[in-house]
Every structure is written in structure tokens, then in C-alpha cells.
Amino acid sequence: MKVHALVTARGGSKGIPRKNVLPVAGKPLIAWTIAAALASRGVERVIVSTDDPEIAEISRLHGGEVPFLRPAEIATDSATSLDVALHALDWLAANGGEPDYLLLLQPTSPLRQAEDIDGAIELARERSADAVLAVCEASPHPYLARRIEPKGELADFIELAMKPSRRQEYPPAYMLNAAIYLNRPSSLRATRMFQPPGALAYLMPLERSLDIDTPWEMRLADLLLRES
């Protein structure tokens, strides 16, 4: 089974400017994802899709392939990961052929490890799945969410006739952690969804499921990776 990893890294990130090349525990953020993909037993190629020459250069220094620069029309704030994935698949189809699976990896999940990637690939292989997405336990549990009414009163976000009184009795709840999106190209093209009907969940531990979106989360990743 042929799996190509696609690391997506736009140059114009807004929340944390230049986040993909900022140092985290001694090396650029994107380097952690490239390293995990390269260490995976199941990944044949590690391709970086970027519009940014500096990101391209750093990616190559850390072992990633950058066979093309992303066109400007899919490097905007409104461009989606699906746009980027389909562009990469079109390029692969025209340059040697598509893989059996495309593995989309975002640099904002630097705690993801090669064993997580291999576990998701093995699940796809065993179940012949169209898609496998990484999840982690929801923390806090959705039952603990609240909303604030117009006059300031607290109310349950999820209203239930009978809600368990103890957290130990809550049903298991999971959330996408954005670390792994593994898809058959045919499914991705047909459904235009990373989570098509029948997609399988690959459970990752919460401690490896950090998805960086803020400077505080960047700092947290730096501390965790320095201690690992």
C-alpha cells in the first residue's frame, strides 16, 4: 500500500505570524511533522505544499520534498485544506501517479509521533477504509459545556432530561485532534470530504493531541517537546 504524506504549510499565517518556521524546542515547527512522517514505516514520500520560499528551503533541509510551490489562489485565507490536497493529487497524477492513500499532516500538531501515523495506516489497511482520522478524548467532556443566556444566566449547552450526576458515568466522547487525515484519493475526489461516510477513528492519547492555534499553545508545545 502506497502512502504519500502531504505536509501543508502556508506562509501567511495570521494567528501566529510565520508560525511554521518559528523555533519550537530547538527546531522549526514544521520540522517536527516532517521528522515524524520520515520516521513512519508506512509513508513512502513526504511532500510539503507551501507557497513560501523560506518554508520550502527549511522543509528541504529537514528532509521533505518540495516539488512545487503552491499557486497563489490556494494560498489565501479562504483556501481550504481540501483545495490544497486536491491540487497535490492533481500534481501527483500528472507526475508518476497517485498513491493509494494521501496522508495530510498539519505542522500545528508537533507532538504527533511516527507510531501514530503507522497506527492509522495499519487501521486503514486492515479495514480497507476510505478514510481514517485521528481523534482524542474530549476534554473537558461536552456535558460540562455551558452557554450564557442574554441576561447573563448560565445554562447547559447540551440539555438532557437525565444527565449523569458523576463524571465517571458520562459516555465516552471524542473529538478530531487535527493530527492525521488519511484518505483514498478516489474518495476525496468523489466526496470532497476528509470525513466521508464510514470514516474510521484512530484514537491518539490526549498528551500527543495538541493542535497549536495560539502563542500560548506554541509555548506549551515548546515546553513539552523539550521534556520529551
Domain that holds residue 154: 139-172
Residue 145 · residue 158 · CB < 8 Å: yes
pLDDT of residue 120: 98
Q: Within this chain, do residues 90 and 166 fall inside the same structural domain, yes or no?
A: no
The predicted pLDDT at position 76 comes to 86
Q: Decide: 58 and 31 in contact? Cβ < 8 Å.
A: yes
The total number of structural domains in the chain stands at 2
User: Which residues are CB-neighbours of 112 under 8 A, at least 6 positions away?
Assistant: 33, 36, 105, 134, 179, 180, 204, 208
Grid cell digits, residue 19 = 508560525
Residues of the chain with pLDDT under 70: none
Burial of 193 (0-12, 13-18, 19+ CB in 10 A): middle
Q: Are residues 25 and 107 in the same domain?
A: yes
Per-residue pLDDT, 83: 96
pLDDT at residue 78, as a whole number: 84
Cα dihedral sign, 199-203-204-207: positive
Residue 228's pLDDT is 82
Q: Is residue 225 part of a domain?
A: no
pLDDT at 168: 85
Q: Are residues 123 and 192 in the same domain?
A: yes
Distance CA 55, CA 35 (A): 15
Please check whether residues 203 and 122 belong to one and the same domain.
yes
Same domain, 9 and 65: yes
Q: Is the domain of 121 the same as that of 206?
A: yes
Q: Are residues 55 and 28 in the same domain?
A: yes
Q: Which H or E run contains 114?
A: helix 114-127
Which residues make Cβ contacts (< 8 Å) with residue 73, sequence separation at least 6?
79
Residue at 37 is within a domain: yes
Per the domain annotation, does 47 fall within a domain?
A: yes
Residues 113 and 153 both lie in one domain = no
Residue 191 sits in a domain whose CATH number is 3.90.550.10
> Which pLDDT tens digit goes with each residue over 6-15?
999 999 877 8
